Amino acid sequence: MSDNGQKIIELPSMITVRDLAQRMGASPIQVIKVLMSNGVIANINQQVDFDTASIVASELGFETHQEMLEEETPKETGEIPFWRQIISGEDPHQLVTRPPVVTILGHVDHGKTTLLDAIRHTNVAGGEAGGITQHIGAYQVEHKGHAITFLDTPGHAAFTAMRARGAQGADIVVLVVAANDGIMPQTREAIAHARAARVPIIVAMNKIDLDGANPDFVKRQLADAGLIPDEWDGNTIVVPVSAKFRKNIEDLLEAINLVADSMEIQANPKGRVIGTIIEAQVDRSKGVVATLLVQNGTLEMGDVVIAGTAYGRIRAMFDFRGKKLHKAGPSTPVQIMGLSDVPQAGDLFQVVDNEKAARELVAERKLQHQESRAAAPKATLEELFSRVQSGEERELRLIVKADVQGSLEPIVSSLNDLGKEEISINILHAEAGNIGENDVMLAAASHAIIIGFNVQADTPARRLAEAEGVSIRTYEIIYRMIEDVEKALKGMLEPEIREVVVGQADVLMVFHISRVGNIAGCKVTQGEIRRNGKVRVKRNGEIIFTGDISSLKHEKEDVREVRQGYECGIGVRNFDNILAGDVIECFILEKNG
């Protein structure tokens, strides 16, 4: 308590609205209202600087001091590591080194699962391989007295899903690349996801036992992808391994410990209990079973846990061998029973005082979620530029998709040339092919936008983009794409005209009407078909025509719209080559800004 009777709180140089509210014991809505009254528009997950947070705290009756954490913001990234965010409010004198958390990413056929099995059976918690009785999505090994926690996640999509929900999948990524195959598209995608998370990468060059193995070729590919091997004076450790014959597994564990030592990964076992949900499901006999990774504090039997909108008192707790536990410290994966609902993978969990407090917090979160979804702006080029101008962002993050590799290279080169001013351009991922859900998930987790040349976003990707607030811009002329990005950097971008897909119909049969042409007899399968909308005609997944609707009828009546589940007749202006089995997609054009 200060001399003037105000409570004192310590704040880091940057803090999210949610964390600021928690430290003051206030509602995030109260904090957002104070910010708005001071001219700052922020959502619950947005970060504000110390000065802004101090103004809010002062208006709510608090005096603030700034936390002094060494190297709080790494110079090379300008971003606070996830584990340091977790411990930002802890007493520095109580911090201890915790085991690193590692996830394994890479191409589907390059041996990720075999490598995990090799590590597990080589040295699971000091040689207790026979003790594994159940799969809980994570386990620990021990190497030269140091524990290492491995997340057995299904790949980079899950890794990024965690980041999109505010968590981070791991402290270190092990990238598996086959020595006989080299870097594949999925490998490049995994590299992009790891880099976007700003996590150090160790390369496990697998299958060195095969006759077709070519380590030097793979190293050249890695160098071209920006992962220069340490033996070539780079900063990426490349460990040749054979997961099948369990060769050099010890060397890989040694490399992980080496990188972990350089990072000084810490936690406070006596501090607030916080961590991440790895996976969760409903078991018929046990109820909701969730795998948790404790990242700070010590989780104990009987604790009341809240994760997202799920909560409950821990009734039972097990380690990865199925052994009952009474408590679990930092970096320990555990399986618990007792939650009221199934939380999502990547949700952050915390321990609260009692079930009443948990219920109140869940009710508040549900309300906040509804309000934030209604008010959440898209990460458009215009929005990103305004954040850059206000100092909130120092780079424009892009995901680039093109129809062919030949188009992709000049686009990436031209975009990189633009980012040489005070605002940098960070291309998180560039690949040939249509825009898919993985691209949208990466964009959501990284606050990036997706730009595409001569490509389309598939229906699941568009739905996810709408839900996550991700902006997708597509172009048919390269110079217009480059021009738009350049205008965004200069703050001159015109409001975006974007396509919004409103419905889809399957063509069941085609009728020919004299002096009118062919009319498609359709059934609306999604959304609605609008008379004033535009349409794309698709055949075998390929777009064969884009144009306007000339007529829309339902039971011989002209109508303005036909909704899902109903049949209708659709005439497409200037296009008669429509066949049964085609798909008609209806979209409208909207102006952003």
Do 407 and 453 touch, CB atoms closer than 8 A?
A: yes
pLDDT, residue 482, reads 83
pLDDT, residue 340, reads 86
How far out from the chain centre does Cα 131 lie?
Answer: 34
- Transcribe 52-106 into DSSP letters: HHHHHHHHTTEEEEE---TT-S-TTTSS--HHHHHTTTS-GGG-EE---EEEEEE
Return the ∠ at Cα 414 (arms to 412 and 418), rounded to 5°. 110
- Transcribe 465-488 into DSSP letters: HHHHT--EEEESSHHHHHHHHHHH
106 Rama class: left (phi>0) / alpha (psi -120 to 50) / beta: left
pLDDT, residue 35, reads 77
| CATH assignment, 99-264 | 3.40.50.300
Do 1 and 58 touch, CB atoms closer than 8 A?
A: no
60 contacts: CB under 8 Å, gap ≥ 6:
24, 26, 30, 31, 34
pLDDT, residue 278, reads 83
- Kindly tell me the burial class for residue 412, based on how many C-beta atoms sit within 10 Å of its own C-beta (0-12, 13-18, 19 or more): middle
pLDDT, residue 167, reads 53
pLDDT, residue 591, reads 65
Distance CA 543, CA 555 (A): 28
Do 554 and 562 touch, CB atoms closer than 8 A?
A: yes
Quick check: pTM over 0.85?
no
Distance CA 99, CA 151 (A): 13
Amino acid, single-letter form, for residue 444: A
Beta-ladder partners of 553: 558, 569
**Domain 500-591: CATH architecture, name and number where available:** Beta Barrel (2.40)
Q: Which sign, positive or negative, has the C-alpha torsion 333, 334, 338, 344?
A: positive
- According to the CATH classification, is domain 274-375 in 2.40.30.10? yes
131 contacts: CB under 8 Å, gap ≥ 6:
124, 125, 321, 322, 323
- According to the CATH classification, is domain 381-494 in 3.40.50.10050? yes
Amino acid, single-letter form, for residue 313: R
Distance CA 111, CA 213 (A): 14
The domain segmentation of the chain, as residue ranges, is 7-68, 99-264, 274-375, 381-494, 500-591
pLDDT, residue 79, reads 47
Low-confidence ranges of the chain (pLDDT < 70): 1-6, 13, 39, 41-46, 66-86, 88, 122-136, 152-169, 368-394, 419-423, 490-497, 591-593
pLDDT, residue 438, reads 81
Do 269 and 346 touch, CB atoms closer than 8 A?
A: no
Whether the domain at 99-264 and the domain at 381-494 fall into the same CATH topology: yes
pLDDT, residue 78, reads 38
419 contacts: CB under 8 Å, gap ≥ 6:
395, 396, 425, 426, 489
pLDDT, residue 76, reads 36
pLDDT, residue 126, reads 39
Do 478 and 456 touch, CB atoms closer than 8 A?
A: no
